[in-house]
Chain A
């Protein structure tokens, strides 16, 4: 990856983290931990990989994205706003009764959202359906999905995994945001889902492990996924829950909690410093 692009993506992700934090604080609710862990992958998709046009969000030939871990809406809405699907100031309306920026992604009202999600395990099935439609219609669009490593405890994920392999959906690329935590604690304690690589391989998927905070690795992995024929690909992205905020990192307590005013100021100060560092590079 060239340095200019890398720089731009890092700056965008740093801005995205600030927006996500502001959304959750303004709404006084929302899921910040997983939003911070999946942010870099979403920025890589929307600002480098996916062929989309915010001016034409329903283009039938566009690439699609499904946030199967739908609670990480702050990351998705921040990225969609930065990409130009709707004004950035709208993030203040997240979870507000006065608008339609609902707590989980809503495809009916929010421009750029390709599938309404929120109930875990369901988004990946919809992504399989989109990829299947692409095959039936012989279109070359690609379908992306992001899941949580807690989410894969849902049996439906594996039903979808079987179906994607059966129909050889090489136009489908999922990413599992492997931050190792879920609401009640470590995934290893709540319900061990590892080894995810062996599981997905056994289900007929092409598996690519990746550092979910490394744009060069993400870019290479998405390119490798697009080049892989005859089977769907999954990126197992090692990430840090709460990435970028020292007191939120690797703490399951920040799964679905909003910071109070004091915590918010501290978090924003850290995120602003990070943005300044990236911009100064």
Chain B
């Protein structure tokens, strides 16, 4: 298994590498550059970095204006403020005119830990997914994040990219045949009894859950659905047909996010049991991140339990 790196750290590095190749890339932040890791960009390319202060709504509008002039802005802050506070600016100034702005939300989910509920955004997938024109992406590890940043730079349109705070194991670089494409999920583990569709740091937990299940004779397929929108419906439908049951897992409210996207797709195209795992429509609380995750059941064990139930539903 690979070393542990936070996806936000990988983002910061990828952005600097990207800027070296593409002079149109600019970055904005709202006084959180040392947390979102856009700081390295600000130090390397000070003329292309704009610290907009603690004013996220204006930052999104400024990013939109820059995009109308051919710039490729990456505007980062915490997920709570990018998708939450500045929601309407993202909708009306960026997504509606389909401007080429990458809205970057760091510290998504409960793994923010100690800062507690005000900063633990478990609603960003939902908020961004319901906006027309928006692409929504949340890579699971450092390798995937770097590939995503490059792909998003090539993608001409508005997108939301969620970054995580915690250092997480790099898993995708060790998967044979793994390749990254926006809008295409990646099968990280084959399986025939149940499919676990995962996103972000729940991908690693899904792989661990599959190991647990393997010991019990349950053969779980694991899909890394890094792009929640547009959803890879083809891959999902195939998995539903071949395994007959689906579990979704996300560091997000089970309302509005990956789970509902998957359920919505399969309800119409290939109805099979779909059990959603994630944050059960509740606010988080302060604590060390691993303890917070455990408190809310974001564990491989809990995913495995959902998978067992899903398999039972087939009978």
Contact = CB atoms under 8 A, between A and B. Distances in A.
Interface of A: 60, 64, 66, 106-108, 114-116, 118-119, 121-134, 136-137, 155-156, 159-160, 162-163, 166-167
A109 to B, nearest CB: 10
Contacts of A128: 58, 61-62, 65
B89 A125 contact: yes
B312 interface: no
Residue among B58, B59, B64, B96 with the highest chain A CB neighbour number at 10 A? B58
A133 B97 contact: no
Contacts of A114: 68
Instruction: Describe B's contact surface by its main secondary structure.
Output: helix
Interface in B37-51: 47-48, 50
Interface in B55-98: 55, 57-71, 73, 88-89, 92-93, 96-98
A160 B71 CA distance: 19
Contacts, number: 108
Nearest to A126: B65
B93 A116 contact: yes
B55 A163 contact: yes
B68 A129 contact: yes
B65 A125 contact: yes
Interface of B: 26, 47-48, 50, 52-53, 55, 57-71, 73, 88-89, 92-93, 96-98
A45 B53 CA distance: 32
A136 to B, nearest CB: 7
7 contacts: A123-B61, A126-B65, A131-B65, A136-B48, A159-B57, A163-B52, A163-B58
Contacts of B98: 108
Contacts of B26: 136
Contacts of B60: 125
Given A115-B65, A115-B93, A129-B63, 13 more contacts: A60-B69, A118-B92, A125-B60, A125-B62, A125-B89, A126-B93, A128-B62, A133-B66, A133-B71, A136-B26, A160-B62, A162-B55, A162-B58
Contacts of B57: 121-122, 125, 155-156, 159
A262 to B, nearest CB: 36
Given A115-B64, A129-B65, A160-B58, A122 B93 contact: yes
Closest 9 CB pairs of A and B: A129-B65, A125-B61, A159-B58, A133-B69, A126-B65, A159-B55, A129-B62, A116-B97, A129-B66
A126 B62 contact: yes
A122 to B, nearest CB: 5
A125 B93 contact: yes
B61 A126 contact: yes
Contacts of B61: 122-126, 128-129, 156, 160
Nearest to B52: A163
Given A107-B97, A156-B89, A132 B68 contact: no
Nearest to B56: A159
A166 B73 CA distance: 19
B36 to A, nearest CB: 18
B97 A108 contact: yes
Contacts of B67: 129
A115 B97 contact: yes
B44 to A, nearest CB: 15
Most buried by A among B59, B66, B73: B66
A126 B64 contact: yes
Contact of B71 (A107, A131, A136): A136
Contact of B65 (A60, A130, A166): A130
Contacts of A115: 64-65, 68, 93, 97
Nearest to B57: A156
A125 B30 CA distance: 14
A125 B58 contact: yes
A158 to B, nearest CB: 9
Nearest to A161: B58
A137 B89 contact: no
A119 B88 contact: yes
A163 B69 contact: no
B275 to A, nearest CB: 39
B37 to A, nearest CB: 22
B62 A132 contact: yes
Contacts of A155: 57
B88 A132 contact: no
Contacts of B48: 136
A155 B55 CA distance: 10
